[in-house]
Amino acid sequence: MEYIPLEGETASVIGGKALTFDGASPTLSTTTSLVVIIMFMLIGGAAFYRYVMAGIYRLEASENGVRKSNEAFRGATFGVLGVFLMFLIFFTFNRDILLSDVGLGALKSGGVIRSGGGVVSGNAATPSRSGGSPSCMTKEEAIAKLTSPSGICSGTTCSFLSGCNYSQYASIIKSEAAAASVDPKTVAVIMCKESQAKPNAQGKNPNGTYDCGLMQINQPGPCDANSLDPQQNIKKGIALIKQKTAAVNQSYSGIPQKLGVFASYNCCANGTVPHSPSADCSTATGFPFSIPKWACPLNPGDGQFNMCSVKNYVCGIDACLSQIQL
Give the per-residue pLDDT at 97.
52
112-321 placed in CATH 1.10.530: yes
- State how far the Cα of 172 lies from the Cα of 186, in Å rounded to an integer: 14
pLDDT, mean over the chain: 78
**pLDDT over 90 (residue 217):** yes
End-to-end CA distance of the chain: give it in Å, rounded: 40
Give the per-residue pLDDT at 4.
52
Give the per-residue pLDDT at 90.
63
pLDDT digits (tens, 9 = 90+) for 294-311: 999 998 887 767 899 999
Mean pLDDT of 225-246: 96
* Domain assignments of the chain as residue spans, ordered by start: 28-99, 112-321
Check residue 89 and report its DSSP letter: H
pLDDT digits (tens, 9 = 90+) for 135-151: 888 999 999 999 998 89
Cα four-point dihedral sign 57, 58, 62, 65: positive
Pair 35, 46: CB distance under 8 Å = no
212's enclosing H/E stretch is: strand 210-212
User: Which is nearest to 173 in space by CA: 203, 197, 202, 193?
Assistant: 197
**pLDDT over 70 (residue 181):** yes
pLDDT digits (tens, 9 = 90+) for 281-294: 999 999 999 999 99
Give the per-residue pLDDT at 286.
93
Task: State the helix-helix crossing angle for 184-195 and 170-180, rounded to 10 degrees.
Answer: 130
**pLDDT over 60 (residue 3):** no
